[in-house]
Amino acid sequence: MFYGQFCENIYTAKGKQWCAPVSAQQYHLGGEVTFTHRLYRLYHFGLRLAAALLPIRTPHVYAGQQAVSQWLCEVKKQNLRTLLVVSDPGIVALNLQQPIIAALHQQGINTVLYSDVEANPGIPCIEHGVSCYQQHHCQGIIAIGGGSVMDCGKLIAARIARPSKSLQQMQGLFKVLRPLVPLYAVPTTAGTGSEVTVAAVVSDHKRQIKFAINDLCLVPKGVLLLPELTLGLSPQLSATTAIDALTHAIESYIGINATRFSKAKSVAATKLILSNLPLVYQQPNHIDARMHMLWAAFYAGQAFTRTSVGYVHAIAHQLGALYGIGHGLANALLLAPVLNAYGQRIDAQLTALAQQTLAANSDAQDMRAAIATLLHDCAIPSTIAQLRQEDIATIAKRVIAEAHPDYPVPCFFNQHDIETILYSLLPQQQHSKQTNEQQSLAGQYR
């Protein structure tokens, strides 16, 4: 089994040989800190100050049996007459949106359903939603679905607020800078945390990349946490989306921009996921565990929207853009390999996290073991079936371009380091065919 060790095939620069598995305590990637890296750290310090000073809004949360009725009171106060309901074909097939739509109609509020949202939504998907909003003279948006749906709802709202700006022109930090139309989120998966974050991700299918738009205004006005909407999720989808939330919590915690607030939220999320995901996986209809998972995703979103993420997400975004791999699954595939590649550099952070989520005498290895056990019990594969050796260099370049300088990672990897992680995740048959090419990688190990 891959998890609990870095990889089966580790190439050493000195001996030019493939060697036996090496534990995370013995091995890590990254090391040399360049002048450019020091400049990145100055940039990260600026981001930390900004996160401390900027008024990041927490959306109003409607939870419990009266959640929908309480939310309807808010909608009526704003005199909203028509809402665009953003969803996807899977949600509509399960009719999960209908109770909320029916409740709106009972209050005399019209709805327009836009349900063409795809996984990893592309630019045309967003633009079609904008046209639908404008054509029906909507006055607000409610996004009912997973991360793709909520991101789509955010970006439709951003385009409505900035009709003269393309999504590409909004890429990066603070390019919207306008109040959005009333925007509400109803997560039907417990994972992305998009319901509480300042970010939204869109795919540019022509360039085969994903890019993020980050702005304070992208935080929804309100969030409905309705665990009954998550009961129809398969165990596998429940697991991969939850591990997305776990990745948010852990990458936020180990990043250099972690704060007392973000660490507290990461701890809360991690504790809830480790204790409730196995229950959800084995008993999909456990309503209390489902509610705990929704809160875990919310807390993890609160953490990483202030601290950002790291290499797990940077690689996952590229896998999603190139192969269409779901974001949660991509994170689940990458979490253990990247944490192990950091090696001892994050042991202090993982030990602190373990002592607050596992037991008082736990250490970094206990944390890694808990993650490995969770991944194993949720049947997460140890390789990426779609990954092709000829794509690895391109993926690695894009990962570095995304992560540097924006992500305040615990230590810096270079392109070769990313390639090494990806090589370890190749399907086994490609390992045996491509040994010579793999051995051409030079000097990655320090």
pLDDT digits (tens, 9 = 90+) for 106-162: 999 999 999 999 988 999 999 999 999 999 999 999 999 999 999 999 999 999 999
pLDDT digits (tens, 9 = 90+) for 271-287: 999 999 999 999 999 99
Q: Which residue type, as a one-letter code, is found at position 282?
A: Q
pLDDT digits (tens, 9 = 90+) for 231-246: 989 999 999 999 999 9
Instruction: Give yes or no for residue 340 having a pLDDT over 80.
Output: yes
pLDDT digits (tens, 9 = 90+) for 290-310: 999 999 999 999 999 999 999
CATH code at position 329: 1.20.1090.10
Does 377 map to a domain?
A: yes
Same domain, 78 and 178: yes
pLDDT band for position 8 (cuts 50, 70, 90): very low
Instruction: Give yes or no for residue 12 having a pLDDT over 90.
Output: no
Same domain, 32 and 69: no
pLDDT value of residue 9: 33
pTM over 0.75: yes
Same domain, 44 and 65: no
pLDDT digits (tens, 9 = 90+) for 310-338: 999 999 999 998 999 999 999 999 999 99
Distance in angstroms (rounded) separating the CA atoms of residues 243 and 270: 10
pLDDT value of residue 430: 65
Q: Looking at 66-136, which runs of residues are DSSP E strands?
A: 82-86, 110-114
Instruction: Give yes or no for residue 32 having a pLDDT over 90.
Output: no
Q: How many domains does the chain have?
A: 2
Same domain, 152 and 269: no
Same domain, 354 and 378: yes
CATH code at position 119: 3.40.50.1970
Same domain, 46 and 98: no
Same domain, 146 and 49: no
Angstrom CA distances, 278 to 30, 127, 183, 192, 208, stand at 33, 39, 33, 18, 35
- Picking from 429, 420, 395, the residue whose alpha carbon sits closest to that of residue 18 is 420
Last residue of a domain, one of 208, 230, 252: 230
